[in-house]
Amino acid sequence: MTKAPQGPGAGRFCIVLAALTLLVGCGGAGPRVSNDGRVAEAPKEYSREDALRMIRSSEGRLAPVYGPLAEQLVDDLDLGGKTGIGIDLGSGPGTLVIELCKRTEMHWINADINPHFFPFFLQRAEEHGCGGRVSAIQADAQALPFRDDYADVIVSRGSFWLWGDKVAAFGEIRRVLKPGGVAYIGRGLSANLPLEVAQAVRGGRGEGPQYDVAATAQELHAIMKSLRIKDYRVIRPRLDNEAGVNYGVWVEFRKSRGG
């Protein structure tokens, strides 16, 4: 059974969150604080047990997904050698953050609503030599704790379908992006993931999450239209692969230079 780390990475948790509060210029980083100064507990629906389940999944069945996805993001979004700020919404264990940190010179933020992930994430980042270029912050996608025009890149894999008000969440993503910044949001796999690996991840021929990919693609088009975002594309990777494996659906969009 995977255990949350208790070592040096866990010890840096509060320091990193405090530093990030100054970095992002907001009071929402880390554990929530009430008006009388008391630190509120993490919402009970976001438990340590939930975090451990996802950590086990990220180290098991989903482990082959993150490296290829990071490679595709770096290539498609031209991130190689770039500096700046990147955010992964709903990053959980932060595996994608670490893979992106390895491939870029950017500072990456794990923004997740469940803070129980963060000690594990910070220790794992240290182990991979990325500890100096990552941060963690508790965040609700529908009310992001970042100032306007803050991030160069925002990505998210596998969490947007959980956002209660998706239009509000995508509006927040646009607000936080710098003018000219790019977002890549979706669920599923990257086009560069070999078919046999995708089959193993999905559990067999054509088996995968039970959702309507076409309907989700239409939903993403509708969200972009609602927010009047014109510079976007909805992507359905390897739609007609011979094994019928569901590679998911993504949307990539850029914030206009005019804001």
Residue 20 has pLDDT above 80, yes or no: no
Question: Residues 183-196: pLDDT tens digits?
Answer: 999 999 999 999 99
Q: Cα separation of 104 and 70, whole Å?
A: 10
Residue 7 has pLDDT above 70, yes or no: no
How far from chain centre, in Å, is Cα 57?
Answer: 16
Q: For residues 247 and 208, is the Cβ–Cβ distance under 8 A?
A: no
Q: Cα separation of 208 and 131, whole Å?
A: 34
Which amino acid is present at 229?
I
Task: Say what the pLDDT of residue 257 is.
Answer: 86
Residue 1 has pLDDT above 80, yes or no: no
Task: Say what the pLDDT of residue 238 is.
Answer: 95
Radius of gyration for the chain, computed over Cα atoms and rounded to the nearest angstrom: 18
Mean pLDDT over all residues of the chain?
A: 85
Long-range contacts of residues 57-65, Cβ cutoff 8 Å, at least 24 apart = 58/92, 58/93, 58/95, 59/2, 59/93, 61/200, 61/201, 61/203, 62/95, 62/201, 63/95, 64/193, 64/197, 64/200, 64/201, 65/157, 65/189, 65/190, 65/193, 65/201
Residue range 195-210: mean pLDDT, rounded: 75
Residue range 57-77: mean pLDDT, rounded: 95
Tokens of 42: 């993490």
Tokens of 152: 């160069």
SS3 141: coil
Query: What percent of the chain has pLDDT above 70?
Result: 80
| Sheet with 134-138, side-by-side order of all strands | 134-138, 107-112, 85-89, 151-157, 177-188, 248-254, 232-235
Q: Cα separation of 246 and 223, whole Å?
A: 22
Residue range 198-221: mean pLDDT, rounded: 81
> 5-23 burial by CB neighbour count: b if 16+ within 10 A, else e?
beeebeebbeebbeebbeb
Is this model's pTM higher than 0.85 or not? no
Task: Say what the pLDDT of residue 258 is.
Answer: 78
Task: Say what the pLDDT of residue 208 is.
Answer: 52
Give the domain ranges of the chain. 8-254
Residue range 233-255: mean pLDDT, rounded: 94
Which amino acid is present at 18?
A
- Between residues 257 and 77, the one the model is more confident about: 77
Query: What CATH number is given for 8-254 in this structure?
Result: 3.40.50.150
Residue range 111-138: mean pLDDT, rounded: 96
